[in-house]
Every structure is written in structure tokens, then in C-alpha cells.
Structure 1
Amino acid sequence: MTRNLPPVVVIGGGHAGVEAADAAARLGADVVLVTLRPEALVRLSCNPAIGGIGKGHLVREIDALGGLMGRAADAAGIHFRVLNRSRGPAVRGPRAQQDFETYPAVVRRLLGRHGRVELLAGEVVGLRFDGDRVSAVETAAGEVIEAASVVVTTGTFLGGKLFRGEEEEPGGRAGEPPSVALSEALRMAGLRLGRFKTGTPPRLLARSVDLQRFEVQPGDEPPEPFSFANLALPRFRPPMPQVPTHLAQTNPRVHAVVRANLDRSPLYTGRIRAKGPRYCPSFEDKVVRFPDRDRHLLHLEPMGIEHPWIYVNGLSTSLPPEAQEEIVHAIEGLEDAVIARYGYAVEYDYAPPTQLHPTLEAKTRRGLFLAGQICGTTGYEEAAGLGLVAGVNAALRAMGRDPWVPDRFDSYLGVMVDDLTTRGVLEPYRMFTSRAEMRLSLSPDTADRRLRPVAEHLGLVSRADLERTERRWEAIQAARAALERRGPRGSAAQRLRRGEPPEEVLSEVEAARRLPPADRATLAASVRYEGYLERERKEVARLRQAESIRLPRDFDFSRIPGLSHEVRERLAEVRPASLGQAARIPGVTPAALALLAAAVGTRRHAAPA
């Protein structure tokens, strides 16, 4: 690849890395993506699924910004299911099981469409700086790659260590070595590192499991896709064959095996001290924390149409292999199951994210960006979203353009970035709809309206993409106007507000009938939740007033009289950009906020005209 300018260098080829590389390339930057094994690009290391509650919202937002994940998940999906379907549309979570081999193949094809992304096999072991600005990376092979900016997306590989019973070995994933030297390079760059852990369940040979003994969980019909391009179709037809998943349950015998082997679990012998994800606990933790429960639900999920393995969702464990054999064979229906790969835990380095600006650039070094699990998150979707934000800002930095920060009140991406960089993390961060103050306004079906104009302005999507979004919403608004027209039984909108079935009401209005199914659902929700949406809009306007009071980057918090030492430390660490952001920092009390507001006002009035 011939380059006129130094490239954006992306370290790591997981979900964060590919979205970062793709976003930077769409903005016109040349990209070198350095990964230990290019053939393992964007591997589904744990659960073979994309989306879920909160996570599906992120996938829709990534798609609205032109990212890869939604399109790839639609192309490789083998089982589509909307979670929380019985609840309101704002908290429903689209999810799809993925074909383990097809998903990375689709991503690789999409990533190659620019001709701007060069894949390089290697390990980055060092970073070079020109003053406080990153200038190059060094590989283990001795190559020095000049860089306009660098995005670090190391996943669980940074200082990774694998645990299974009494066994312990270096590794970022089963059978793959960790990245050790880069941890020291990041420390030398002024970043503090901590340790987190995660785990994965055993995989079973599919041919050894009689699935007829388990409850069938079919996918949705019709399936609901992620990508707005597919949502616009009269009917989405997945290109992959569709298969069911199956439900299993543990029992007291299984739990007894766990209790008998806790003295061999690295989680309970003290060999793993790092914190793991609260909402994806190991099976050992479930048994210990819920001693009164005599059963736990498991999902038997196929890893692909032709893939020989089944993923046992809900059975993450790092117990020794013989204990895992006992556990699996004690589950009704799995007496003859063959374990293809044992579960294990992985401990890895991360950088506490309050060390980052909301652009995901390190505060200590210009041009050095972090994304994914190194920021303290867990999950493919969280990693992909952060990768996109970091990739955009790495390219903007390289081009000398103004940075972009997703807005907390406009997107779950903004919620996540703000939570991480303002509040920090004490455990791996997972996205939930409950983290957003404005859940109704951030419904997944509105992500294109909220984010596509920003994407077009940045150069992430084309003008034609934006015009398609505008036409979609014009059609929805026209149908909305038609619903408000009065008829013999009142307007259709009034009937929806009274709780009449949306399908029945909308079928009587021609403008609504012409909409794709997904847009009819959006239309109905906009009418039924109109009052709540208006209330949220007023609350956002109030909150934005605090966001508009900006804090200078060089503000000296130590000189504000009356602030406690703890509050001064927290403000100095996070360096909030606005009074609103300062209010979200843990430990900053209303009284401290009042003192800060007064100090900002005094400085403003004292500034020369």
C-alpha cells in the first residue's frame, strides 16, 4: 500500500479493532491493523451471538454510523430473537446467534472494500513518541511503523493469563499467546493499569448431544434484523439457514459437584484476584451466591450451521477438567455429551478509563487512543462501539480536524463513553438500558434519525445514506399526520392512545399500511408514548444547560475554597469538560457542585473582555 501520510495504526483485530480500522478508513485515512493472527480476525471468542438488552441498541447505533457489526450480524445470523419483547419498545433487545465461521468472513470482506486497510501479522511491543505525541509503534520482529495516531484494542490479550483448575498459563485466548511487552510500553506512556477477569463455558460436540431431550426455543418469525438497510425491506430474509436453540437446566447434583470442587477453583483459592463481570458470573459464583436455588437455566446454542460444537450459555467455569466432566454429565440430557473444549478463566490488563478524554484519547499522550476491553468493558458490542469512536477520533486527529464525542443524551454510545471516562469502573462495564436517563428517546429503532446526520457530517456515510434516512422519517411523519385525522370513531391516534391493538388500527390507514413492518411499530410507539417523550425532551433541555457551562482544561480545582481533598482529587483526575459532567463524577456532592459553579462564574467574570 502506497501512503502519502503516516497511517492510523490499530493494535488488535477483535471487534474494537476492526470497527476502529473501518471507521478511520471511511474518513479517508490509511490504516495498518496489526494483529497476532490475521486468520483469527474478529473471532467470536465467547458467546456466538451479537446483540441483546442494551447491546442490541449499540449495534443499531454502530450501523447508523456506518459501522460493520449490524450488517455482518444480519448476514451471518442463524437464529434471530428480540429479548424483552413483552416490554416497551425502548427496552427491547434485538439479538442473533451467529455462524462462527461466517461472521468473521463477512467482516473481513466488508473491511477490505476500502482498499485502505492493511492487515499485518505481528506483535506490537513498543510505542515511540515525539514529545507528548505518539509517532510510531515497534513490533517484535523489529519493524518500526510510523503512525499519525494509534488505537490500542488488545482485548483479553494484554498481559493475559489463562486459568483452569490448578493449571495456569500465559494466553489471551485458548491456544493463543498474550501480549506482555505492550503492557510495559503503556505504563511507560504514563497509563496506570489494573486487572480484570472473564471466563467462558465448555463447548460440547454437537453429535454427542440428543437435542430432542431439551425444550426447543425457536427464533422469531419474521426475524428482526440489526441493519437499517434490512429493516427497510418489506420482509427480511436471512441469507443463512435458521436453527433453534435449546433450553437445559442444572440440578442439585450439579451444584454438589461445584461445592465439592471449590477448593480447586482459581476463583476461590485466591489465584485469581481480579474482578469479573457482575452480570455474567461464573457458574461457581452462581452456586455460591444463590445457595437456595436448586436449578439454573442453560442455553444450548449452536456455533454454526456446519460447526461441530455447541456453546453452553450459562455454564462459564474455570474448574479443573475432571470437575467439568462431572458437571456436564450430571445435567439431564447431557449424560453422554463429549466436551470438545473445557471452560477457562482469563485475567488481563486494562487501563482505568478516567485516564482518557471522552474522545478515548489518553490524557498523557496525544494521538494514543484506547478502545474495547482495555477501557474496562466486557462484550463484543461495547468493544465495537468504543472502537468506532476511537477510530473516528484517531483519523480526525491525524487529519487535523476537530474531535467528535457522542452525546450522552443522543445515544447509548454517548452514555457508555461518558460513564467510562467520567465515573470510571470498579468491574467490567456492560451496557444496560437502565444506564441511560432518556431510554424512550434512545429506542433502537430511532438510532438512524439520531446519528445518521452526524455520520454524514463527519464523512462516515454518504449523502445518499442520509437521504434514505430522511425519506424513512418523512414517510413515518406523513403516516403520523394521517393518524391524527378524525374519523367517525375519532382519530386513529386517539384509538392507539386508548390501547387498541396497533396492527388493527394501522391497517385502516393507507399511509401506515405502506410502511415496512419495523416502521409501523416505530409509528405506533411514537403515538402511544407521546407524552412521555415530550417529558424526556424537556428534561434533556434542562440537563443540557449544565452541559453548556464549560470548564477550561487548565482549571485549577485545588484553588476552589471549601472543596474537600477527595473531591479535588476526583475533579483533577477526570478533568470534566462541563459542569454537567462534573455532576456525574462519583463523590462530587451537590454542595461541591455549587462551589464549582460559583468558581466558574467568578473566573468567567474576571476574564478580560
Structure 2
Amino acid sequence: MFNTVYDVIVVGGGHAGSEAAASSANLGAHTLLITMNLQNIAQMSCNPAMGGIAKGQIVREIDALGGYSAIVTDKTAIQFKMLNKSKGPAMWSPRAQSDRMRFAECWRTMLEQINNLDFYQDNVTGLIFDGNTIVGVKTSLGIEIKAKKVIITAGTFLNGLIHIGDKTFGGGRAGESASIGITEDLVKVGFESGRMKTGTPPRVDARSLDFSKMIEQPGDDNPEKFSYSTTTKSLQNQRSCYMSYTSKEVHDLLRTGFDRSPMFNGRIQSIGPRYCPSIEDKIDRFATKERHQIFVEPEGWDTVEIYVNGFSTSLPEDVQDKALRKVAGFENVKFLRFGYAIEYDYFPPTQLTHTLETKLIKNLYFAGQINGTTGYEEAAAQGLMAGINAALSIQNKEPFILKRNEAYIGVLIDDLITKGTEEPYRMFTSRAEYRTLLRQDNADLRLTPLGFKLGLASKERMDRVQEKQLKTDLFVKFLIQTSVKPEDINPILEENNTAKISQSMKLFKIAARPQLNFDDVRKLKSVEAFVQENSIDREIVEQTEIHVKYAGYIEKEKNQADKLNRLENVSIPSKFDYTKVQSLSIEARQKLTKIQPITISQASRISGVSPSDISVLLVYMGR
């Protein structure tokens, strides 16, 4: 049946698997996507949303490189918001509510249009090795399928256990069985594994809720979109979300179930996500807080299903029911599904290289929650990179590795393989030391040239990026060269409570004032005429304004990044023997031997490796 030796097999059809299969096949690799249920490709297992703080930047980076997540999000969105607009542009983060059913359908439709991609519904129960190289997979039907590369994107399915109160049963997601066999085969050949947990809140019937008792949360007045491509459009109509609050009464009712909670009675010992805790965890950790926000999020345009964001729980179903009924607007709530916690296997990501290939077994790649991450966006980014690198390796091309100053994706992967993680890893803007450079608005300028060179981003996309850069540079040059007279600008300055000028001044200096925005600057006839003559759109205006107002910060970060890249260029020989370097601390020797960094810069980011250890290494490397 499967006589073909595939170039790449992708195990799992979630967000990581979908991006991995798409990028691999689009780069010319004959790819097979194996998943337990073809109806659940790219299923939104938890909240029906993409993006958010730092996650939105990742989705835009995936799009700029030629991935699909942003396009699917735009095509199936029901609401769009740009978060953190009150802060600086490095903090702005796009987020969209999606139609859950249409999201999965759109992903499948797009994947089915890729020529080099085959599909097969079955459960992978084993891996086939030839020495220290993977050569294929085994399925529950006893079929062996051979491949040059295998990418495992198993999500929460590896030996998954679902917990609701004192009930426990196997499963990788509600209504779906766990995956047994992959962990066991990996451990046999020497991999270290661990357990993590995550959770999900109840889903309820919108017809049973009283939205008049809640606070409406509409989308942006002028919604943007995720993808830089012209294939998608901004939303014309949006669905509102709503907000309510828990109370002391709700908390007291929840506490009555703590003795039956798997989190508190010891049945769950694995670590859950720090930044997305369950409701019982929140009221236990923040005992003095009298209420917590509950976000009421519709699952789509036409469905009555509601996602109760902020009420993630594994408490007994009777306790969930009693407590949620005391939340304003939920008095007559009808449950479609109770919240639950899920435990699953993961593999500490320090066992990977920057390409996401495992160090122990050649041609084997891990992407997504198997690496200890949480979130669709982090998973999709890893899938994209694993798919790219698997395809490039088959073609004997150089690996594709993003640096920390190039992309949030670079920060994500470097953090995972250099520092590892003992709790579900979530991306934040604070994790990126060059976040002024890594903004959501310039992901196309940063990464589309790289995606185009790879063969993932189209020429049309590349042309649009070049036009965007050209027009931004032109606008900045105009502001630098053009002077404005006091009589023309002073009324605008006075209107915005900023100091007037007494003699002509360059527009660049005026526009850099924090009290002014570019809507104010465009009140000048010369500026508006330039904008109209050169067809400067909103996106170019935003780029120019950021460049003008944050030029000093951007230049400073570029200089810091250049210094970092000097250390990135100092490579460390593979399988370097750190025991020879007696001047290193014992901890540094142990950590460096385990992680095997490929550059001095990566070595400097390993916990336990001090600046003096790095100095010793630099001397030893002949610096």
C-alpha cells in the first residue's frame, strides 16, 4: 500500500503539523500528513482565537515567511483587536476571534490544494529506527510507512490523561483517544521525557445566558487583519465578546470541590501553564482577590457554543455547574461540555538543535507541545520551521535558523533548546531583548525576503515589501528635507499643548514630538500633498511614524544586536569536549556538555554559564 518512501512524514494534524506539512510540501518535499482524524485538522482545542500579546507577532512572522496561519485566521475571523495600542509600538499585538468550525475547514481546504502533500488517517503507534536514524513509522493497523524525515507534532495526545474531578480517563482531547507507543519508543532509544498539564474551560449554550448583565467587548472600530497578502480582507462586520466577573460566593462554591480536585489531591503532579492558570489555581494563589474576569467568547458566526475564557477548571462537574451559575449572566446556564485538565508527555527541548532536529536520532524532528510549549501560535511557528528544515536537509541545503534579533520565532526556538522548560512555555514580549526591532508591523520587512529566498513567499509578496520599504524611506526623506514655517505649524502645536517654534524647523524634528501624531502632521498642506501624490497608505504612514518617533531606540537595539551577532559568528566545534577546559566552572562544563551550543552567543544564554566562563571559552577558541 505505502511502497513509496516519503521525503517527510508529519505525525499529527494540529497547528504545528499543519504548518509543517504545508512548508515541507511547498518546498518540494513529498510529504505525508498522518493524523487520527482528518475531520479535526488544525482543530482549536482550547480558545477560538489567534494572536494576543507576542503571539500576534508570531502569527505575522509565520505569514511573512509564507506560512498559512494568518491567512486562515483572516478568512475565518469574527472579531479583530489590536491589543496594547496605549503603549509603544513594540507592544502592539494583533488578536482575532475565529469561527472554530470554519477555521479547521479552511485549513484542510488549503492543505488539500498543495500538490506534494498526501493525507492518511490512522494512529501512529511506533517509530522505526535504523541505528541512530529514523526511517519510518508504524500505525495501529500494523502498516509500516518509510520516510527520509519524520516530524512529530503530537500535541497533548502522547499518553494523554483527562481529569474531571475524581474521574480520570485516557484521551488526547475531549472525545478523542490518546496516542500510545511513540513515547515508549523514544524513551527506549535514550530520550528523556516528562509530563505537563494544561486545561480548558466549559463550553456553554449562548441561548441560556443573559448578556444584558455583562459588559460588551466589541472589536476595533477600524479592524486590521493578520496577513500581509492581498488574498484576505479586513472584517466588515464583527461579533462582540462579553465580560463578567466571579465573586466571593463563586470562590466559596469552587472551594467546596477542592478535596475532589485532581490538582489538590495529588492525582495531577505535572506542572501546568503559569500564565493561564485554572480558576481553582487562581483563587488558591490569589486568595485575597475577591473577583476574577470571565471573558465570554462566541465560537463562531452561527453557533450557540460559547467559550468561557478565564474559567479553566478540572473540578467535579457538579461544582462547575453550581459555581458558574453564580456568575452574573450565567444564572440559567446550560453546559455543552464541562471543563477538564489534561496530562501528557513532552520531551525537554534541550534535546534538539536549532533546526528542531533531535540530537540523539538523525532525521527526527519535534514541533509544538511535545517540546513543552503552550499555544497554537508557538506550535505553528515550530511546525513551520521543522517543515522548512526537513525539506532543506533533503535537498542538501543550508539549514534555516532565525536569530533572536530577527524574529520572535528565533527567540522561541533559542529559548527552548538553550534554556529548556519545566513548565508550558508561553511567548511574551518581555522574552525578546530586541522587541523594538521585532514589531508586528514590520514582520514582512524583516522576514519576507528570507521567505522569498526559501521559495515560500511569492514574488507578489516580495514586490509589495519592496514597495513598502521604498515608500517609507521616501516619506522619511521628505520629512528630513522639508522645513515648516512657524505660522503654518504653531496653531497645530498649540492645539496639542506642545511648545511653539519661533523659526523654520525641519518636519522630522517636529513629527518626532510625542505630543503629536501623524494625523496632526498631515494637517499641513505640504505633507498631505506629498501623501496623495505618492499614494502613501495607512500602513506606510504607520511605518514612517514609528521610524521617526523611535529612531533612537531602534538604532540602539540594532547596535546591541550587531554586538550579539559577533558572538553568533564565533562557532563552537560539534561534540566539543568541555572537560578539557579546566578553567570552566563545573556547572558550566555540565550544562555545556548537555546542551552542546553551536555558538559562543548561544553558550552565553545557558543558565549556569557565567560571563567568566564565556571569557574562558573565547580565549580557548583563539580570540
Instruction: Give the letter aligned to residue 64 of structure 2.
Output: A
**C-alpha RMSD over aligned residues:** 1.6
Alignment check: 8 A CA contact 2:79 2:235 kept:
no
2:507 to 492, 505, 510: 492
CA contact (8 A) 1:360 1:371 kept: yes
Determine if the alignment matches structure 1 residue 313 to structure 2 residue 309: yes
Alignment of 1:246-265 (within 5 A): 246-265=242-261
Pick closer, same or farther for the CA change 1:511–1:348 going to 2, 3 Å.
Answer: farther
Shift of 1:566: 2.1
In the TM superposition, residue 591 of structure 1 has moved relative to its aligned partner by 1.8
* 2:543 is the alignment partner of 1:522: yes
Q: Does structure 1 residue 111 correspond to structure 2 residue 87?
A: no
Q: Which residue of 2 aligns with 1:501?
A: 517
What does 1:550-589 align with in structure 2 at a 5 Å threshold?
550-589=571-610
User: Quick one: which amino acid aligns to residue 445 of structure 2?
Assistant: R
Aligned-partner Cα distance in 2 for 1:385–1:70:
11
Distance 1:219 1:3, change over 3 A: farther
CA drift of 1:448 comes to: 0.9
Residue in structure 2 matched with residue 333 of structure 1 by the alignment:
329
Structure 1 CA distance for aligned equivalents of residues 570 and 7 of structure 2: 36
Displacement after TM superposition at 1:548 (Å): 1.2
> d(CA) in 1 for partners of 2:311 and 2:140?
37
Q: State how 1:69-218 maps to structure 2 within 5 Å.
A: 69-218=69-218
CA distance in 1, matches of 2:523, 2:594: 56
The reply on whether 1:396 has 2:392 as its aligned counterpart is: yes
Q: CA deviation at 1:64?
A: 0.2
The alpha-carbon deviation at position 256 of structure 1 amounts to: 0.4
In structure 2, the partner of 1:286 is 282
Aligned to 2:499: none
Contact map agreement 1:492 1:506 (CA 8 A) in 2: no
Cα distance, 1:44–1:369 mapped onto 2, change above 3 Å: same
Q: 2:224, 2:234 within 8 Å by CA — same for their partners in 1? A: no
Is the counterpart of residue 384 in structure 1 residue 380 in structure 2? yes
The whole-number CA distance in structure 1 between the counterparts of 2:392 and 2:134 is 15
Paired letter, 1:216 = E
Matching residue within 214, 235, 238 for 1:238: 235
Deviation at 1:3, TM superposition (A): 9.4
Deviations 1:357-408 (A, max 9, x none): 0100000111100000001100000000000000101111222222111111
> Mean alpha-carbon deviation: is it higher for 443-452 or for 48-57?
443-452
User: Aligned residues: percent identity?
Assistant: 41
Q: Residues of 2 paired with 1:507 and 1:447: CA distance?
A: 29
Separation in structure 1 between the aligned mates of residue 2 and residue 168 of structure 2, nearest angstrom: 44
Residues 360 and 390, structure 1, Cα contact 8 Å, conserved in 2: yes
Q: CA deviation at 1:4?
A: 7.7
Distance 1:594 1:328 in 2: 57
Alpha-carbon distance in structure 1 between the residues aligned to 2:517 and 2:65 = 33
Specify the code of the residue in structure 2 equivalent to 1:496. A
Counterpart residue number, 1:23: 23
| SS of residue matched to 1:7 | strand
Give 1:522 shift: 1.7
Alignment-mate amino acid for residue 548 of structure 2: V
Measured after TM superposition, the shift of residue 168 of structure 1 is 0.2
Deviation at 1:507, TM superposition (A): 5.3
Give the distance between the partners of 1:313 and 1:463, measured in 2 at CA. Answer: 40
TM superposition shift of 1:133: 1.9
Tell me, what secondary structure is at the counterpart of 2:154?
A: coil
Q: Distance in 2 between matches of 1:476 and 1:243?
A: 34
Determine the C-alpha separation between the residues in 2 that align with 1:254 and 1:291.
Answer: 13
User: 3-state DSSP class of the match of 1:102?
Assistant: helix
Counterpart secondary structure, 2:402: coil
Q: 1:547 aligns to what?
A: 568
Q: SS of the residue aligned with 2:277?
A: coil
Determine if contact 2:11/2:153 at 8 Å carries over to the other structure. yes
| CA–CA separation in structure 2 for the residues paired with 1:60 and 1:586 | 30
Q: What residue identity is the alignment partner of 1:600?
A: M
Q: In 2, distance between residues paired with 1:189 and 1:561?
A: 32
Superposition pairs of residues 336-355 of structure 1, within 5 angstroms = 336-355=332-351
Shift in Å at residue 6 of structure 1?
2.6
What residue number does 2:489 align with?
A: none
Q: In the TM superposition, what is the alpha-carbon distance from 1:465 to its structure 2 partner?
A: 2.3
Q: Are the counterparts in 2 of residues 100 and 307 from structure 1 also a CA contact under 8 Å?
A: no
Contact 1:196–1:274 (CA under 8 A) maintained in structure 2? yes
Q: Partners in 2 of 1:8 and 1:204 — Cα distance?
A: 40
Separation in 2, partners of 1:511, 1:161:
62
Q: Name the CA distance, whole Å, in 2 between partners of 1:3 and 1:225.
A: 43
Question: How far apart are 1:2 and its partner, in Å?
Answer: 10
1:383-532 correspondence runs (5 A): 383-484=379-480, 485-489=482-486, 490-499=505-514, 500-506=516-522, 508=524, 509=527, 510-513=529-532, 514-532=535-553
1:264 shift after superposition = 0.9
Uncovered stretches (5+) of structure 2, i.e. residues with no partner: 487-504
Q: Is the CA contact (8 Å cut-off) linking 1:60 and 1:444 kept in structure 2?
A: yes
CA 1:189–1:404: 2 relative to 1, 3 Å? farther
SS in 1 for 2:23: helix
Question: Using the alignment, how far apart are the partners of 2:289 and 2:507 within structure 1?
Answer: 48
Corresponding letter in the other structure for 1:47: N
Structure 1 residues 438 and 512: alpha-carbon distance in aligned structure 2, compared to 1, 3 A threshold: farther
1:548-589 deviations in whole A, cap 9, x for unaligned? 111000210111113233221110111011111000000001
Give 1:450 deviation, angstroms: 0.9
Q: Offset at 1:266?
A: 0.4
Q: Which residue of 1 aligns with 2:498?
A: none
SS of 1:248's equivalent in the other structure is: strand
Structure 1 residue 278: Cα displacement:
0.5
Cα distance in 2 between the residues matched to 1:474 and 1:109: 35
Residues in 2 aligned to 1:522 and 1:412: alpha-carbon distance in whole angstroms: 19
**Counterpart-to-counterpart distance in 1, 2:590 and 2:234:** 54
> Deviation at 1:327?
1.1
Secondary structure at 2:621 match in 1: helix
Is the contact between residue 20 and residue 386 of structure 2 (CA under 8 Å) also seen in structure 1?
A: yes
Deviations 1:384-438 (A, max 9, x none): 0000000101111222222111111110000000000001002110000100111
Do 1:3 and 1:30's aligned partners in 2 also have CA atoms closer than 8 Å? Answer: no
4+ residue runs over 4 A deviation: 1-5
Deviation at 1:279, TM superposition (A): 0.4
Q: In the alignment, residue 487 of structure 1 is paired with which amino acid?
A: V
Helix, strand or coil for the counterpart of 1:417?
helix
Asked if residue 598 in structure 1 is aligned to residue 613 in structure 2, the reply is no
Give the counterpart letter for 2:177 in structure 1. P
Give 2:410's aligned amino acid. G
> Can you list the C-alpha shifts for 1:459-508, whole angstroms capped at 9, x where unaligned?
11233321221111111111111222222243332222122122121454
Q: Distance in 2 between matches of 1:134 and 1:448?
A: 36
1:365 alignment partner, one of 361, 367, 370: 361
Partners of 2:522 and 2:356 in 1: CA distance: 44
Q: TM-score, normalised by structure 2?
A: 0.94
